[in-house]
Amino acid sequence: MGRKNKLRKFSEMLSFDNVVQNFDYLKPMLVRGANEEVDFKGNWSRDFFGNDHGLILELACGRGEYTLALAAHDPGNNYLGVDVKGARIWKGAKKALDAGLVNAGFLRTRIEQLELFFAPAEVDAIWITFPDPFLLKERNRLTHHRFLNKYTEFLKPGGHIHLKTDDEVLYEFSLESFNSWNRGKIEYHHQDIYAGPLENEVLNFKTYYENKHLEEGRKIKYIRYKFDF
């Protein structure tokens, strides 16, 4: 993508009311539009979405395909896609606006800083769909204990963490990581979800990258973990 195209998207995104951004990770504050400082911590559903519905995050959401699909499928909950790449978020945010999906929004920030922006037990569930497996840096994987411990700062007891991936290494690592975490239990996992009937119909939603993986003959894996305390 050309630099001019990226700059155009960044500029256009400043007019999107369904996007909030952290422009400088050294200054952990959120901005909506060009310069409206906002603090939704503890009140994302009320102040950002304008309702009292549950709040579900998709981490490393990329273009937001899964966020949009979940939001369209489940209007009774709010879905917030999180990614650090503005050009990716632009695409999902624009589609949400064009489709009138009022329960889909986007947050541009580093996942390492999420606990700064959400109150304890504010989030009902977390989806992690086709994240970078970081084959050479285990501690950067979003199911590493380093991140799982961060999620406890805002995930409700009884809330779920969902992982969907094509990567065998990440899948096996995540099974081990969840099992050794001792903060809940794995409720379900499968190393080839399309080999038989789907455990949950929302697993049939596919991102751009998932479709590519399927075309290449890769198997899609899934883990659902219930966080208890």
Domain membership of residue 34 (yes or no) is no
Domain membership of residue 132 (yes or no) is yes
Query: In whole angstroms, what is the distance from residue 170 CA to residue 135 CA?
Result: 8
Structural domain including 125 reads 40-227
Identify whether the C-beta of residue 64 lies closer than 8 Å to the C-beta of residue 70. no
Domain membership of residue 175 (yes or no) is yes
Domain membership of residue 215 (yes or no) is yes
- The domain that contains 64 carries what CATH number? 3.40.50.150
CA distances from 99 to 68, 108, 125 (A): 9, 21, 24
Q: Is the pLDDT of residue 90 over 90?
A: yes
What single-letter DSSP state applies at residue 226? Answer: E
The amino acid sitting at 24 is D
72-101: average pLDDT = 95
SS3 content of the chain, % helix, strand, coil (to 5): 35, 25, 35
Domain membership of residue 5 (yes or no) is no
| Number of structural domains found in the chain | 1
Domain membership of residue 15 (yes or no) is no
| pLDDT value of residue 35 | 86
192-206: average pLDDT = 95
pTM over 0.85: yes
Q: Is the pLDDT of residue 10 over 80?
A: no
Domain membership of residue 18 (yes or no) is no
| pLDDT value of residue 2 | 60
pLDDT in tens, 30-73: 999 888 999 999 999 999 999 999 999 999 999 999 999 999 99
Q: Are strands 54-59 and 77-83 parallel, antiparallel or unpaired?
A: parallel
pLDDT in tens, 170-185: 999 999 999 999 999 9
Residues with a catalytic annotation lie at: 132
Domain membership of residue 94 (yes or no) is yes
| Assigned token pair, 90 | 């632009």
Write the CB contacts of 36 (distance below 8 Å, at least 6 apart in sequence).
Answer: none
Query: In whole angstroms, what is the distance from residue 44 CA to residue 226 CA?
Result: 22
